[in-house]
Chains A and B, each alone.
Chain A
Amino acid sequence: MNVQVEHHDKVLVARVEGRVDSSNSQDFERQLQGAIGEDVNAVVIDLGQLAYISSAGLRVVLLVAKTLGQRNVSISLCALSDPVQSVFEISGFNRIIQIYDTQADALAAAG
């Protein structure tokens, strides 16, 4: 698992690659919280290269969404594969966090 960070003006894009499970979710949390500590207006988490996520990883996404919500920073997700999309739907997270098909869509909405 790896988190790559890019800046598009005041929008931060965090691209997550690999697998997030109970063995590395603390590392995932540290990398993601570290990335969003900066002064940004919006955060887009690109999950296009995420092969697998379990409840341990969803917990981190929720924690980050709570942190950003308290700072009035918007958060969205994009480019989920079908199985990852299913997990977000089963968790109900798709009803509380915006999900876009592509990073371009997410950036347009966040811009």
Chain B
Amino acid sequence: MSATLHLRVPNRIEELPGVSEAVEALGSEQGWAQDVTYAIVLGLEEVATNVVRHGGGDPGSSEIEIDVTSSDDEVRVEVRDSGRAFDPFHEAPEPDLDAGVQDRQIGGLGVHFVKVLMDETSYSREGGRNHVTMVKRRS
């Protein structure tokens, strides 16, 4: 069984809980395991939050296009935006996972989650838009 969720939302943080809700509904309908749902919702929130915060342009001035495709074997998430070129998988800072509480910096943690929780990630710049793909296998 396969299903696709297609969303277009303004580049505003306040839009993201609605995206999470829609993705959870798809996961429930498609019978995703709890850890798959968590990974997909988290990965999408982290990538979309980066787009809103670092993509440039005023909130609400552009759109983020999201496609989530669920098949028997995997869930594929694609995020496209027209913000400034930014490859989160190579340009975001690497978190220092060994630093103590007082020295620990928070930057890069969201992208680190995506890299660890997803089975595949990729970035490309196409037609003046960023295109992030994340794939999570279901077993």
Q: Which residues of A contact B (CB under 8 A)?
A: 19, 21-23, 52, 54-56, 58-59, 62, 65-66, 69-70, 82-83, 86-87, 90-92, 95-97
Contacts and interface: CB of A to CB of B under 8 A. Distances in A.
B46 to A, nearest CB: 6
Contacts of B34: 82-83
A21 B45 contact: yes
B45 A59 contact: no
Contact of B42 (A62, A69, A87, A96): A87
Interface of B: 13-14, 16-17, 20, 34-35, 38, 41-42, 45-46, 49, 95, 97-102, 104, 106, 109-110, 112-113, 116-117
A91 B14 contact: no
Mostly, the A contact residues are: helix
Given A52-B42, A86-B35, 7 more contacts: A21-B45, A55-B106, A58-B106, A66-B102, A66-B104, A90-B113, A95-B98
A89 B35 CA distance: 14
28 contacts: A21-B16, A21-B17, A21-B20, A22-B45, A22-B49, A23-B16, A52-B41, A54-B45, A54-B46, A54-B49, A54-B113, A55-B109, A56-B49, A58-B106, A62-B101, A62-B106, A65-B101, A66-B101, A69-B102, A83-B38, A90-B112, A91-B95, A91-B97, A91-B109, A91-B112, A92-B98, A95-B97, A96-B104
Contacts, number: 73
A55 B102 contact: no
A25 to B, nearest CB: 9
A91 B112 CA distance: 8
A90 B116 contact: yes
Contacts of A87: 42, 113
